[in-house]
Structure 1
Amino acid sequence: MSGETAAYIGLGSNLGDREKNLSKAIELLAAERHINLFRTSSITETKPLSDKKQRDYLNRVAEIRTTLKADKLLKVLKKIEAAMGRKKKEEKWSSRTIDLDILLFGSKKVRKKDLCLPHPQMHLRSFVLKGLCELDGELVYPVLKESVSVLYSRLSGKDFYIDPDRPQLVSIAGVIGAGKTTLAEGLRDLLGFRLIKESYDSNPFLPKVYAGQKSFALDSQLYFLLSRCEQLRPDSFPPGGVAVSDYIMDKEMIYARLWLDSMQFELYRKINAAMCKTTAAPLITVYLKISPKKALERIKQRSRPYEQNIDLGFLEKLHIGYERLFETFSGCPVITLDAETVDFRQKPQVETIGEKINYYIGRD
């Protein structure tokens, strides 16, 4: 029909017969005069986002075509919710018979008190993105200008939400030579983030380790661990401020596996596990991927004396360690960048990355 808009509706229920509630809502949606139900995703079961003890949700996504304007469609959804017993004023994160949200309305962007398009946190919800990917993985999220399949790949199947009360930390990860510090400094200069730099220059054991004196490896690892735990103390993050670190705390175990013998590693693993619990976790991580060969070229170019003994074999092992880490990493969303095609010294490229980061942490 001429003048129709493709829209995507998120449905959720965790009270009563959840599957029946979803089916009923879809039935009521399809019965509306100005709405054509196009297709629906499969059902996904998800944990509640809040810490409250609640029943798990069933979620799915419906694709419709409608001649209604976005605000009129919202009124229809509210009408359906009310017809199914949902109260107008409910506590945030409360259980509900049915929850209906407009996720996407064409490529429209709206910022009003009662209507935000696209849905402002759908890029943080795996259960939403999974349903959208089933329907059309190439759908573009209008704000980030990226496909829903790309957004889904950043979440490792987890669901997140913006929490301004948490320490506002952005972490940059990648092998030596990937450009972590350059990007972190660019974000500091451009966006005013507080820079947290790895203390490699002050670690007295590191040059000895790179020179082949492995007897200092445990000392070096513990030095870095203590330094990072101090840098990432939650109480060191002032309210409203954002910090960017040129490392991710999880890298500790990658290096420990390479440097330490089995007895040292087991001791370090226990110390690391206890101390990491005291640190702030990142809200988002940017993983800079680079080939070991290219990383070695950059290391030789920057000529840090203690790095000149680093060989390709060591970088290949580091690369494997980082790849394994991010295959299963689920602590926060991860934006993966090809560090060989992006120049972090160029302001426009840092601006593009900064815009994405700000959106993920709720500073758009």
Structure 2
Amino acid sequence: MDGTFICVEGVIGVGKTTLVTKLSAQFQTEPLYEIVAENPYLEKFYDDMDAWSFQTEMFFLCNRVKQLEDIGKILTEGQPVLSDYYIGKNLIFAHQTLDEQKYDQYKRIYNIVSEHLPKPKGILYLKADFDTIMHRIKQRDRSFERKMDPFYIQSLMQDYDQAMTAISDVIPVLTIDTTHLDFVTNQDDLNLIIQQITSTFGSLKENKHD
């Protein structure tokens, strides 16, 4: 029996990676983290999106495809996996950054390479209001995000809402507003998220020692 595969999604800075780290320890699952800072085009992308968007998006796509191919064996062995991204996010970002012609080219490539990748049992969609997102981005202070256009974040937030609504027709989506939640330092807030996950997606391998 394949292991449970759950993806955590949401706009830049919402807390996906931090939550996956917390949940993986709680549920004794294999964490899967997206490769971001290693993208050699990312800094150039934020300086000039038009010039570097296609290279940036293709780097992300190729790396995520390889990662998801690699976890296929883990899942078939019955081990659960929690990921801090869903492969469908590639289309959300590509839609934002590519012109129509390049987006069509990219989408054709995406459809081919993603067809046989593991499909998640569910998606945990984290949200927060715009001011909270911008505060979290500033707080973590990644060098390549300092020049980020706030309008870009606002547009991404809208695209994420639309995409998650569409995805929910084929994959269960649990939406949690984290604006007033501190799951990093507040165990009660983390427990609230855990309770909603188990109620929606069923029990994972919970760590009995916590």
TM exceeding 0.5:
yes
**In structure 1, how many angstroms separate the alpha carbons of the residues matched to 2:198 and 2:48?**
41
- Secondary structure at the counterpart of residue 336 of structure 1: strand
- Secondary structure at the counterpart of residue 272 of structure 1: helix
- Secondary structure at the counterpart of residue 264 of structure 1: helix
Alignment of 1:171-210 (within 5 A): 171-210=7-46
**In structure 1, how many angstroms separate the alpha carbons of the residues matched to 2:140 and 2:55?**
26
1:264 aligns with 2:98: no
**In structure 1, how many angstroms separate the alpha carbons of the residues matched to 2:153 and 2:192?**
28
Structure with the bigger RCO (C-alpha within 8 Å, sep 6+) is: 2
What CA deviation, in whole Å up to 9, does each residue of 1:280-333 have, x standing for no partner? 111111111112232111111111000011122111100110110122222322
Structure 2 residue corresponding to 1:322, chosen from 160, 163, 170: 160
**In structure 2, how many angstroms separate the alpha carbons of the residues matched to 1:347 and 1:188?**
15
Return the structure number with greater helix share: 2
Structure 2 residue corresponding to 1:337, chosen from 176, 181, 184: 176
Q: Aligned pairs, how many?
A: 200
Return the structure number with greater strand share: 1
Equivalent pair of 1:296/1:311 in contact (CA under 8 Å): no
Structure 1 position 353, deviation (Å): 2.3
1:224 aligns with 2:64: no
**In structure 2, how many angstroms separate the alpha carbons of the residues matched to 1:181 and 1:190?**
14
- Which amino acid counterpart does residue 202 of structure 1 have in structure 2? E
- Secondary structure at the counterpart of residue 195 of structure 1: strand
Equivalent pair of 2:2/2:79 in contact (CA under 8 Å): no
1:289 aligns with 2:100: no
Structure 1 position 238, deviation (Å): 4.8
Counterpart in the other structure of 1:215: 51
Alignment of 1:95-244 (within 5 A): 165-233=1-69, 234-244=72-82
Structure 1 position 222, deviation (Å): 0.9
Equivalent pair of 1:283/1:361 in contact (CA under 8 Å): no
Cα-Cα RMSD: 1.8
Structure 1 outlier segments of 4+, above 4 Å: none
- Secondary structure at the counterpart of residue 5 of structure 2: strand
Structure 1 unaligned segments of length 5 or more: list them.
1-164
Equivalent pair of 1:254/1:318 in contact (CA under 8 Å): yes
The structure with the largest alpha-carbon Rg is: 1
**In structure 1, how many angstroms separate the alpha carbons of the residues matched to 2:163 and 2:19?**
21
1:303 aligns with 2:132: no
Equivalent pair of 2:4/2:204 in contact (CA under 8 Å): no
- Which amino acid counterpart does residue 183 of structure 1 have in structure 2? L
Structure 1 position 263, deviation (Å): 1.8
- Secondary structure at the counterpart of residue 175 of structure 2: strand
**In structure 1, how many angstroms separate the alpha carbons of the residues matched to 2:147 and 2:75?**
36
- Secondary structure at the counterpart of residue 11 of structure 2: coil
